[in-house]
Each structure stands twice: as structure tokens, then as C-alpha cells.
């Protein structure tokens, strides 16, 4: 009888692991079963705002590989609309509910991979189930918003949350012609950035016509006479809304694991080693539900990023397939945009560095994305967090026009390799006037930080 691998969760981490394990062992050696409570596998949740905006025309374009492809080409037995409800780590079984039939079934396993992803952290208010209020986490969420745009012809939208999803959805709804108000409890959008960059983002968003309400919590949802959302409430009064989108962040989805006695760490994610194994024999975890190590601070962290989930899934699959893989940790590198403004970060902020017990300082420069004489050069700011007195790079942030954001990858590469700002100054980066000044802004920022 083949070894039994059971995977809970059929998105990035789960299917990456299943596919990698299948490449190493055929179905005669390893039987792979996946249970997924949704209606598809391997979809790009990060693409939902661009689908809503109309930049991606079809829902199908966001699906990397359908369940039938895994079944037919890789002999991975995928069960959609099946939700795991309990894990017995002693008996090595998982109880699963068929959401269509309403029946329960027990699956046995030799190895179990938990890839349950993340769940939204909703605002602590009533009325979030009002029609016209939607999260932006799954393909059905995106479809719900598109249906509302098509059938209700909304004119005013309120986006709750000023992080990555909030900014992307503000842009998407503006592109659809709606008047957009964005609420955020914090005093700046993108709270993972330093305040000076947060202020620049806020100023730019207001220039774009977004009604930005900072330091303003959502306190309620007001339905109209037909039951559809009519407004939201804040301490400053009502804001009319025909559509409300929640972009209030996520946390690891770990209740199933915790109830089974699988340890959950200080980050809120499932405890794993660098092989993606948990402390419970035969149980593994990967993706948004798992915690890992920050390569700069050494802290245990959880990042809900598709890049991390796919890589952790691959490492889990290597080990489950009999090979050897080690996940080396994360930097938290991320990039987004709102209209023409690109926003990126990697490594530690000053606050995070200080929390890690590191003595650090911040420096930043303003520059152009191209040579000053070349057309269409855009303004950008590069901010570096540097350890004192060593000059070791701890983190970097970039805000600017087209061509700014992906420069964060240079800083991520430098961080990954433990470089100091003096090393960064000497990096041999490409130069031509259409792409950068002769001193690329990343190098200029390093020169400023080096003193």
C-alpha cells in the first residue's frame, strides 16, 4: 500500500507541496489526497483587485491550475467543497465535511500537511453581513463585488483599511468610476512604512481624488430600506456608501491545528522547523498559516504572501517526497501600487529593528527614476534602515512613480546576503538614461546612509 499524504488546503502552499512530492514519487509509492473547502485550486488571490478593476477580464485567468489537471496529469486526488473539521494526531485521521452533501468522512494519513492559509481580521462592528459589504480574499468575494457593480450601479464606495489590499481596491473602484472613501484606524496608510513615507502616500492619494479618512474607525454599517448597504458610521458621522470593501488584514488560520494540539507560536502561526515540520510527528505546515524566521531580526513571524507560501510548499513537498529541503526564512519583501504611485518595502522598519534590540538609524533620499534630462522621469524616495555603528543594512522602503517599486529587489538581495551600506554602494548596477541616473537612487541612498 502506498504511503498516504493528506493535504488540507488546495491553494498556493498545499498544491505546491503536493506537486513537488508527486515529482519525486509516483502514485505507487505515494498517494496524495487534497481537501479544499473552496471551489477551485491554485488561484491568484493577489490578482482579485485587478480583476475587479477590469484589468483582468476573466476569472479563469486567475486560476493557475484546476483540480481536474491535478487529478488527470499528476494523480493527485483533489476533493473540492470538502472542509476539514477535526484532526486526530494519535489515530492519524482527519474528519472532513462534504459541503455539498452535508456528510462527514474520515481520511487517514501517514503524513499530514496543514495549508489552511489566513483568515480576515474583521472590524469589531455589527452589520458586516449586510448585502453590499464584502471582503477581498477569495474568488467568490471578487465575483460578489463584480456582481454588485453590474447589478447595482454603485456610485460611492467605502474601503476599510489602508494596507496593500485597501490601496489596491481603492484604485480598482476608482477605475470603475466610483467615488472612493478610504477609512483607516491608523494615522497613516501603509503602517509598515516609516511615517515620512506614509505621509507621502496619503498626500498622493488625496491628489488622486480618494477621500482619505485617517485615524477614523468604522463603527457601524447602515442598511437601506431594501436591506442593501446605504452608509457606514464613524465617530465623525455617516459616510454614504453603495458598496463597502473590507481590507483590514489577515491572520493565520490555525484553529483546526490548535484544537488538535499542534503548537501555535508567538506570531500566531503554526510552529514549524526549517523543513516545514511541526513538533507533532507526521504533521507539517506551510503557507500563510505557518510561522517562520525573519532573516534579519531572527524573530518568529508570519507573512501572508504568495511568494512565501509557494516556496514553503515546495520545501514541504521536497521533504514529504523523500528529498531534502530547508526554508531559509523571510524578509517580508512586498510591493504594490495605487494608480501611478509604487510602494515597496523589505526587511525591518525602524520600529521593528528597535523591538529586536538593534540600534538603528534611518536615512532617505529623493531622486528621479531616470536621468534628469530624460523624458518622463518620476520622483521617488528611497529610505534605508541601518544598524549603528556597523552600517549593516536592516531594511529598505521605496515610494515613487513608475519604475521605482521593483528597485526594492536590489535591497532585498543585499539584505539576504547580510550586506553593509558600503558594500551596497559598490554594487555594479546597470545604467542607461532611460532606466536610472548614473548613480541609481538605491546607491545614492546607500551613500547617504554611509555618511
Rounded alpha-carbon distances, angstroms, from residue 60 to 48, 63, 176, 438:
11, 5, 20, 43
Percent of the chain predicted with pLDDT > 70: 100
CA distance 193 to 173: 24
User: Hey, do 3-119+250-320 and 122-246 end up sharing a CATH topology, with the first three levels equal?
Assistant: yes
CATH of 3-119+250-320, one of 3.50.50.60, 3.30.300.30, 3.30.565.10, 3.10.450.40: 3.50.50.60
User: Chain-centre distance of CA 202, in angstroms?
Assistant: 21
| pLDDT at residue number 161 | 97
| Pairing verdict, β 133-135 and 220-223 | unpaired
425: confidence class by pLDDT, cuts 50, 70, 90: very high
Q: What is the pLDDT of residues 161-212, one digit of tens each?
A: 999 999 999 999 999 999 999 999 999 999 999 999 999 999 999 999 999 9
DSSP summary character for residue 271:
P
Torsion of CA 13, 14, 17, 21, to 10 degrees: -170
Asked if 227 and 216 touch (Cβ cutoff 8 Å), the reply is: no
CB 337 within 8 A of CB 204: no
What predicted TM-score, i.e. pTM, was given to this entire model? 0.96
pLDDT at 356 over 90: yes
Query: Regarding beta strands 360-368 and 379-387, do their DSSP bridges make them parallel or antiparallel, or are they unpaired?
Result: antiparallel
How far apart CA 443 and CA 108 sit, in angstroms, is 55
Domain 122-246 has CATH 3.40.50.2300: no
How far apart CA 24 and CA 319 sit, in angstroms, is 10
Q: What is 334-450's CATH topology?
A: FAD/NAD(P)-binding domain (3.50.50)
pLDDT at 2: 97
Dihedral sign computed on CA atoms, order 120, 125, 130, 131: negative
State the virtual CA torsion across 160, 162, 164, 168 in degrees, nearest 10.
60
Q: Tell me what pLDDT residue 451 has.
A: 84
Grid cell 496524495 is found at 32
What is the C-alpha separation between 36 and 59, in angstroms, rounded? 19
> Which residue reads 474601503 in cell numbers?
159
> Can you tell me the distance from the alpha carbon of 15 to that of 74, in angstroms, rounded to the nearest whole number?
11
> Is 46 marked active-site?
yes
pLDDT, tens digit, for every residue of 438-449?
999 999 999 999
Catalytic residue chosen out of the listed positions 44, 46, 86, 427: 46
| Residue owning grid cell 483533489 | 78
Residues β-bridged to residue 366: 381
**Cβ(344)–Cβ(384) below 8 Å:** no
For residue 391, pLDDT beyond 90: yes
Q: What are phi and psi of 145, to 5 degrees?
A: -65, -45
Q: Domain residues of the chain, as ranges?
A: 3-119+250-320, 122-246, 334-450
Half-sphere exposure of 338 (CA within 13 A, CB side): 28
Cα gap 424→405, rounded to integer Å: 18
DSSP 77-128: EEEETEEEEEEETTTTEEEEEETTTTEEEEEE-SEEEE---EEE---S-S-T
**359: helix, coil or strand?**
coil
Closest CA to 14 of 51, 64, 86: 64
Q: What is the pLDDT of residue 145?
A: 98
CA distance 318 to 301: 22
DSSP 3-state assignment of 294?
A: strand
Average pLDDT of every residue of the chain: 97
HSE of 341, CA atoms in CB hemisphere, 13 A: 22
Amino acid at each position: 500500500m502506498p504511503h498516504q499524504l493528506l493535504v488540507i488546503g488546495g491553494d498556493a502552499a498545499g498544491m505546491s507541496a503536493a506537486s513537488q512530492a508527486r515529482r519525486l514519487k509516483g502514485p505507487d509509492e505515494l498517494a496524495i489526497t487534497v481537501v479544499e473547502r473552496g471551489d477551485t485550486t491554485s488561484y491568484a488571490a493577489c490578482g482579485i483587485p485587478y480583476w475587479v478593476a477590469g484589468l483582468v477580464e476573466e476569472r479563469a485567468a486567475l486560476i493557475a491550475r484546476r483540480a481536474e489537471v491535478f487529478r488527470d496529469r499528476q494523480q493527485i486526488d483533489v476533493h473540492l467543497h470538502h472542509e476539514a473539521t477535526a484532526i486526530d494526531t494519535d489515530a492519524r485521521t482527519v474528519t472532513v465535511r462534504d459541503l455539498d452533501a452535508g456528510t462527514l468522512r474520515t481520511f487517514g494519513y501517514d503524513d499530514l500537511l496543514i495549508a489552511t492559509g489566513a483568515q480576515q481580521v474583521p472590524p469589531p462592528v455589527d452589520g458586516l453581513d449586510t448585502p453590499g459589504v464584502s471582503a477581498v480574499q477569495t474568488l467568490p468575494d471578487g465575483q460578489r463585488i463584480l456582481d454588485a457593480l453590474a447589478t447595482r450601479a454603485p456610485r460611492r464606495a467605502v474601503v476599510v483599511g489602508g494596507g496593500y489590499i485597501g490601496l489596491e481596491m481603492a484604485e480598482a473602484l476608482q477605475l470603475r468610476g466610483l467615488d472612493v472613501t478610504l477609512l483607516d484606524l491608523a494615522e497613516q496608510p501603509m503602517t509598515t512604512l516609516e511615517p515620512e513615507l506614509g505621509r507621502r502616500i496619503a498626500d498622493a492619494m488625496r491628489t488622486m481624488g480618494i477621500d482619505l479618512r485617517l485615524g477614523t474607525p468604522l463603527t457601524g454599517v447602515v442598511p437601506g430600506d431594501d436591506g442593501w448597504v446605504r452608509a457606514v458610521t464613524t465617530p465623525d458621522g455617516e459616510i454614504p456608501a453603495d458598496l463597502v470593501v473590507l481590507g483590514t488584514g489577515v491572520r493565520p488560520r490555525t484553529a483546526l491545528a490548535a484544537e488538535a494540539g499542534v503548537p501555535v507560536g508567538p506570531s500566531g502561526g503554526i510552529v514549524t522547523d526549517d523543513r516545514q515540520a511541526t513538533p507533532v510527528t507526521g504533521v507539517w505546515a506551510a503557507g500563510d498559516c505557518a510561522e517562520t524566521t525573519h532573516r534579519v531580526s531572527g524573530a518568529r513571524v508570519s507573512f501572508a504572501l504568495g511568494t512565501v507560501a509557494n516556496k514553503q510548499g515546495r520545501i514541504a513537498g521536497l521533504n514529504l517526497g523523500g528529498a531534502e529541503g530547508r526554508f531559509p526564512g523571510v524578509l517580508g519583501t512586498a510591493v504594490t501600487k495605487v494608480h501611478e504611485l509604487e510602494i515597496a518595502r523589505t526587511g525591518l522598519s525602524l520600529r521593528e529593528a528597535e523591538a529586536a534590540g538593534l540600534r538603528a538609524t534611518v536615512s532617505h533620499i529623493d531622486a528621479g527614476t531616470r536621468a534628469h534630462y530624460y523624458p518622463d522621469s518620476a520622483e521617488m524616495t528611497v529610505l534605508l534602515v541601518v544598524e549603528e555603528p556597523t552600517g549593516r543594512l536592516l531594511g529598505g522602503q521605496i515610494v515613487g512613480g513608475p519604475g521605482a517599486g521593483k528597485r526594492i529587489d536590489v535591497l532585498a538581495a543585499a539584505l539576504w546576503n547580510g550586506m553593509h551600506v558600503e558594500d551596497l554602494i559598490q554594487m555594479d548596477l546597470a545604467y542607461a538614461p532611460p532606466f536610472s541616473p548614473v548613480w541609481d537612487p538605491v546607491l545614492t541612498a546607500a551613500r547617504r546612509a554611509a555618511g
